[in-house]
């Protein structure tokens, strides 16, 4: 795609096979020629809206930034689609440096990486912000962190180290109490009493192993199934706040001691109801469209009248609106001159200065 900022792919082959492997929030594609030639690796990051879609060549989606054609007749295209263009790809097979073990495919290494590095300054932050740090939680995103914290009733703005050190103590006590636990018993305990790190593995697995492809946005049934699966994120009745990075976190109950100051918690209403005190929307009729004076308008309070933009040709009202505030003499003259200039422009049919 001409608008994509990602590099050109130096690969050409009449017949090749595509295979893929994922790790955290990254996906690696390998293009392997069926004849002579060297394979080409690409590592993708999806951003907020990136996805792959297989469709007929005659029905290519908008924002299909990279296309792989099949040998069928008529052919289809496997497209990397990204409407917001936050996604990208890199040449080569190397995963992005600085990302920790995958929460899905490398769970044990992921768990050890977190618990062994609790002195890191990343854990000085609230737990909701630490969960988005891909150095330790590779694969966890905005909706997953909300679902994980909600299930454990952990305030999102509790200090990360406080939450995770408790897990470390629990794990050590469990090992002392049952030093000879088999793997099956450990899995059973994990399912019955999961901790935060275990939910970082099992919650995304619920999405992946669901019968429906929950993220297929073209299928309305699948989207509804995903909405029904959510327990906290965007769910009516839940509260929300912006964290210190500007990302919205959804939660229930108290936000926690490290919540940003000067920010009120917002609740998503369960149902939009008509407010009897709400102003009646203005309806433009045929008469009012062509004859503005024919439109019936309720009288405005004096304070609003001063603040509103003056009507065309009403010089007296314009002077009142200008001189109402207690301003110094030079400022009054400047505003009066601007008002006259605006009137002249409008008389000529020109737009005023924004």
How many angstroms separate the CA atoms of 151 and 232, rounded?
9
Q: What are phi and psi of 204, to 5 degrees?
A: -65, -30
Q: Give tens-digit pLDDT for 35-60.
A: 999 999 999 999 888 889 999 999 99
pLDDT digits (tens, 9 = 90+) for 264-309: 877 876 544 344 444 444 444 444 444 444 444 555 544 444 344 4
Q: What is the mean pLDDT of the chain?
A: 79
Q: Could you tell me if residue 153 is left (phi over 0), alpha (psi between -120 and 50 degrees) or otherwise beta?
A: left
Query: What percent of the chain has pLDDT above 90?
Result: 51
Query: Quick one: how far is CA 251 from the chain centroid?
Result: 16
Q: Note the pLDDT tens digit of each residue in 76-117.
A: 999 999 988 899 999 999 999 999 999 999 999 999 999 999
Cβ atoms of 317 and 311 closer than 8 Å = yes
Taking the C-alpha atoms of residue 138 and residue 99, their distance in angstroms, rounded to an integer, is 6
CB proximity list for 219: less than 8 A, separation 6 or greater: 212, 213
Contact 201, 209 (CB under 8 A): no
Residue count of the chain, please give it. 354
Q: What would the CATH number be for the domain defined by 107-259? A: 1.10.8.50
pTM: 0.69
Tokens 């906290």 -> residue: 232
- Residue 138, helix vs strand vs coil: strand
Tokens of 270: 């369960």
Query: In terms of Cα–Cα distance, which of 201, 229, 5 is closest to 110?
Result: 201
- For the chain, the domains span 16-91, 107-259
What CATH number has the domain spanning 16-91? 3.20.190.10
pLDDT tens sequence across 217-272: 566 777 788 889 999 999 999 999 999 999 999 999 999 999 999 888 778 765 44
The answer to whether the beta carbons of residues 148 and 131 sit under 8 Å apart is: yes
Pure H helices in the chain: 107-115, 127-130, 142-152, 160-177, 183-192, 196-208, 220-229, 286-290, 302-307, 315-323, 329-348
């Amino acid at each position: 795609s001409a608008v994509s900022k990602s590099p050109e792919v130096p690969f050409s082959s009449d017949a090749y096979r595509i295979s893929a492997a994922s790790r955290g929030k990254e996906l690696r594609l390998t293009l392997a020629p069926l004849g002579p030639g060297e394979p080409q690796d690409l590592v993708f990051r999806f951003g907020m809206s990136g996805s792959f879609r297989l469709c007929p060549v005659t029905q290519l989606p908008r924002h299909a930034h990279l296309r792989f054609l099949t040998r069928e007749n008529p052919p289809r295209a496997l497209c990397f689609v990204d409407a917001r263009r936050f996604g990208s790809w890199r040449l080569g097979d190397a995963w992005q440096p600085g990302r920790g073990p995958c929460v899905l495919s490398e769970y044990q290494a992921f768990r050890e990486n977190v618990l062994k590095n609790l002195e890191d300054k990343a854990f000085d932050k609230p737990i909701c912000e630490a969960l988005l740090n891909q150095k330790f939680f590779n694969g966890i995103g905005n909706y997953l962190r909300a679902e994980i914290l909600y299930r454990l009733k952990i305030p999102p703005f509790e200090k990360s180290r406080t939450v995770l050190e408790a897990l470390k103590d629990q794990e050590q006590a469990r090992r002392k109490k049952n030093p000879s636990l088999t793997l099956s018993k450990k899995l059973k305990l994990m399912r019955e009493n999961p901790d935060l790190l275990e939910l970082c593995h099992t919650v995304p697995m619920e999405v992946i192993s669901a019968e429906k492809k929950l993220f297929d946005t073209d299928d309305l049934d699948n989207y509804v199934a995903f909405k029904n699966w959510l327990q906290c994120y965007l769910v009516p009745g839940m509260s929300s706040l912006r964290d210190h990075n500007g990302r919205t976190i959804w939660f229930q109950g108290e936000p926690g001691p490290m919540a940003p100051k000067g920010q009120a918690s917002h609740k998503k209403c369960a149902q939009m109801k008509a407010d009897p005190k709400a102003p009646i929307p203005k309806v433009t009729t045929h008469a009012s469209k062509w004859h503005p004076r024919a439109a019936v308008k309720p009288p405005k309070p004096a304070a609003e009248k001063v603040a509103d933009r003056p009507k065309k040709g009403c010089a007296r009202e314009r002077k009142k609106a200008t001189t109402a505030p207690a301003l110094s003499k030079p400022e009054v003259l400047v505003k009066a001159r601007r008002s006259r200039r605006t009137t002249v422009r409008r008389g000529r049919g020109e737009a005023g200065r924004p």
